[in-house]
A = this chain, B = another copy of it.
Amino acid sequence: MSRVELLPQPLDKTTFACYGDVIETAGGESFSINQGYAERFHDLAAIDVTTGGGRPTLSIFHARPRPLPIEIGFMERHPLGSQAFMPLEPAPFLVLVAREPEIESLQLFLSNGRQGVNYHRGVWHYPLLVLNKESDFLVIDRSGADCNFEERRLNRSAWIAHG
């Protein structure tokens, strides 16, 4: 049985819509604020964290690249809340999502480094996949009682061979 190798497609709002929001200014609408000294690109992600008495939480993740090739043997999701990731320095990174935690369902996207993502509540995804260098992300997700984490092994592994 040959290896299943995942190849990324560019991240864009339309293609990613089943999984979440792409957080970016490119191609978006804005309005002028601050006496004309700023543009506001308003309400770019559906922050959905109040299920089960949850509250929004702001954190920073400092992520390290995994050595290539990367074996993808599981997926995870947060049944009670959305989770947004925004790079704090422009650097491309991979985004791996799935409708079901099965190898046939995996979809790999490449952020241009200025795009963040917001996984909608319950969307299967792989942890951060940064490329080339260590990177910080601002993360907006849910805090609260009740278990908000589910992990499932895939029926068989997929691989990411190139950054």
Interface residues, chain A, CB within 8 Å of chain B? 23-25, 30, 33-35, 37-45, 47, 49, 55-66, 84, 86-90, 114, 116, 118, 127-128, 136, 138-140, 143
Contacts of A60 on B, CB cut-off 8 Å? 23-25, 40-41, 44
Contacts of A128 on B, CB cut-off 8 Å? 34, 37-38
Nearest-neighbour CB distance to chain B for A30, whole angstroms, equals 7
CA–CA, A127 to B90, complex, Å? 24
Contacts of A56 on B, CB cut-off 8 Å? 47, 49, 56, 140
Contacts of A23 on B, CB cut-off 8 Å? 58, 60, 138
Closest to A64 in B: B37
Closest to A37 in B: B64
Nearest-neighbour CB distance to chain B for A156, whole angstroms, equals 19
Nearest-neighbour CB distance to chain B for A59, whole angstroms, equals 5
CA–CA, A139 to B42, complex, Å? 9
Contact across chains for A37 and B58 when beta carbons are under 8 A apart: no
Contact across chains for A58 and B118 when beta carbons are under 8 A apart: yes
In the complex, the 6 A-B pairs of residues with the closest C-beta atoms, listed nearest first: A34-B127, A38-B63, A41-B60, A56-B56, A45-B58, A47-B56
Contact across chains for B140 and A58 when beta carbons are under 8 A apart: yes
